[in-house]
């Protein structure tokens, strides 16, 4: 769900966001990812405490929230700004028998209602971009206990000279997009050491995200047939999917795994 919002909350009540949520709700995920990648990133940490306290920021419908609760056997606090996603997470947690372990919280990621040193692990798949990676890493670090861990995914350029059409699309949609080395430097500058990173496979874009999104666009076109704003937004979603189909090697989603070097 690409938005040019810096903090999401600015768009609450905006019709643009109502339509965007209508197009997007009910999908397995709200961004690229899959359980295999979540588990692969988790396995990169050594020294996590048994049953760590976990915070999942920008959880969306919570595929990774449930994967974390299951893999770690621990409680996960899951934050999102939209009720529709928190409700989906609640339903899915209940279906999987994980509702006692998952705690959905409605809050904005730049003002989360938690005391310092509340968590051992912060997770953020496809959400740090809302604040900006450097800003998010710095703002969230006090929430971690000494030596706490963080994992996040971020869209990055994978080539030095992206094709002009992809560069032009993301120049509009995500002008702040950088590359892997820049993100690694942001991680170090924010007081973490890099544990590792990897690029999500192309299947992680399609299986849980673009394929189900694209499948619902015809129904959305019928629903918004007399609504030029809705049709524009549906066309923008289709364009985003088409760009991915055309330029899968130019950009990707990178999983970054890091450990806070901060000690009190």
Specify whether the CB–CB gap between 77 and 54 falls below 8 A: yes
Query: Which position among 38, 127, 183, 237 is part of the footprint of ligand SAM (CB under 6 A)?
Result: 127
Q: Which of residues 13-42 bind ligand SAM (CB under 6 A)?
A: 29-31, 33
Cα–Cα–Cα angle for 134, 137, 141, rounded to 5 degrees: 145
Query: Which position among 34, 54, 77, 85 is part of the footprint of ligand SAM (CB under 6 A)?
Result: 85
- Partner residues linked to 122 by β-bridges: 55, 150
Instruction: Give how many residues touch ligand SAM by CB under 6 A.
Output: 24
Specify whether the CB–CB gap between 255 and 37 falls below 8 A: yes
d(CA 3, CA 131): 12
Nearest to ligand SAM of 28, 196 (CB atom) = 28
- For the chain, give me the number of helices (H) and strands (E)? 10, 8
Closest separation in Å from C-beta 169 to ligand SAM: 17
Tell the residue number behind the tokens 């609450």, with chain if given.
12
Look at the chain and count its residues.
264
User: Does residue number 130 form part of the binding site for ligand SAM (CB under 6 A)?
Assistant: yes
Query: Which position among 52, 104, 126, 230 is part of the footprint of ligand SAM (CB under 6 A)?
Result: 126
Q: DSSP alpha helices (H): ranges in the chain? A: 15-24, 35-43, 63-72, 83-95, 133-140, 164-173, 180-189, 203-205, 211-223, 228-246
Nearest to ligand SAM of 53, 125 (CB atom) = 125
Nearest to ligand SAM of 1, 213 (CB atom) = 1
Helix axis angle, 228-246 relative to 211-223, nearest 10°? 160
Query: Which position among 52, 60, 148, 230 is part of the footprint of ligand SAM (CB under 6 A)?
Result: 60
Nearest to ligand SAM of 49, 106 (CB atom) = 106
Locate 182 and state its tokens.
């820049």
Binding mask 143-172 for ligand SAM (x = CB under 6 A): ------------------------------
Locate 106 and state its tokens.
């409605």
Q: Rounded to the nearest 10 degrees, how much is the dihedral formed by the CA atoms of 253, 257, 263, 264?
A: 50
Q: Which of residues 225-264 bind ligand SAM (CB under 6 A)?
A: none
Closest separation in Å from C-beta 226 to ligand SAM: 27
Nearest to ligand SAM of 83, 146 (CB atom) = 83
User: Does residue number 7 form part of the binding site for ligand SAM (CB under 6 A)?
Assistant: yes
Query: Which position among 42, 72, 81, 150 is part of the footprint of ligand SAM (CB under 6 A)?
Result: 81
Which residues contact ligand SAM by CB under 6 A?
A: 1, 7-9, 29-31, 33, 58-60, 63-64, 79-82, 85, 108-109, 125-127, 130
């Amino acid at each position: 769900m690409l938005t040019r919002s810096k903090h999401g909350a600015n768009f609450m009540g905006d019709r643009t966001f109502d339509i965007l949520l209508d197009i997007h709700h009910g999908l397995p995920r709200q961004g690229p990812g899959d359980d295999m990648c979540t588990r692969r990133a988790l396995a990169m940490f050594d020294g996590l405490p048994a049953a760590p306290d976990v915070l999942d920021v920008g959880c969306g419908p919570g595929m990774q929230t449930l994967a974390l609760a299951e893999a770690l056997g621990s409680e996960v606090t899951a934050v999102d700004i939209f009720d529709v996603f928190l409700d989906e997470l609640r339903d899915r947690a209940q279906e999987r028998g994980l509702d006692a372990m998952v705690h959905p919280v409605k809050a904005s990621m730049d003002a989360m209602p938690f005391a310092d040193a509340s968590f051992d692990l912060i997770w953020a798949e496809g959400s740090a971009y809302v604040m900006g990676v450097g800003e998010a890493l710095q703002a969230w670090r006090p929430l971690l206990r000494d030596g706490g861990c963080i994992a996040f995914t971020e869209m990055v350029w994978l080539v030095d000279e992206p094709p002009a059409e992809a560069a032009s699309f993301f120049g509009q949609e995500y002008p702040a997009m950088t590359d892997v080395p820049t993100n690694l430097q942001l991680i170090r500058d924010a007081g973490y050491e890099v544990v590792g990173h990897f690029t999500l496979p192309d299947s992680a874009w399609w299986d849980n995200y673009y394929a189900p999104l694209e499948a619902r666009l015809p129904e959305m076109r019928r629903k918004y047939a007399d609504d030029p704003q809705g049709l524009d937004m549906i066309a923008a979603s289709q364009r985003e999917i088409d760009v991915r189909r055309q330029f899968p090697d130019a950009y990707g989603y990178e999983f970054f795994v890091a450990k806070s070097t901060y000690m009190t």
